[in-house]
Amino acid sequence: MFTHDDILMPLALTVMIDNKIKDPELREFRMQGNALFALFGLESKTEDELIEWFNAQEAKLQDTLQGRRKNTIILRTLTRFSDDAHVEAMYDAMVTISVADKEYRREESELIRSAASIWGFQRPPLKIIG
């Protein structure tokens, strides 16, 4: 059984990993979140509820991404998903968020590469900028 937090956490990490929170990524966060809720049999959330959730988690996630346990938290977040349909949908959502701003930074590349490795996917050919 998955919770809304389980679904939103990898998406939020994708938005925040490069320390630049941009509107296109937040739009995708909201769209992908609700699409995944349907797949996981969870009730959808309004855009305002999703932004409230993101804002409530932002400071804690920033601390996590700057801390020693960054890789542990990412690993724990991603390994919650093991069913093929779930990991495929989550991976697609993360890639979509990471390229929404038309920039693909090193930190995003590393997160997507980690997810691909954990879930056994071929990493997509994306160009890294900056």
**What would the pLDDT profile of 4-63 be if each residue is shown by its tens digit?**
999 999 999 999 998 888 899 999 999 999 999 999 999 999 999 999 999 999 999 999
120 burial via Cβ count (<10 Å: 0-12, 13-18, 19+): exposed
Residue 92's pLDDT is what?
93
For 10, what's the count of Cα atoms within 13 Å in the CB-facing half-sphere? 28
Mean pLDDT score across all residues of the chain? 91
pLDDT band at 127 (very low <50, low <70, confident <90, very high): low
Residue of 7, 50, 6, 24 lying closest to 104 (CA atoms): 24
pTM for the complete prediction?
0.90
- Return the higher-pLDDT residue of 88 and 21: 88
30 burial via Cβ count (<10 Å: 0-12, 13-18, 19+): buried
Interacting residues of 13 by C-beta distance below 8 A, sequence separation 6+: 61, 65, 74, 77, 111
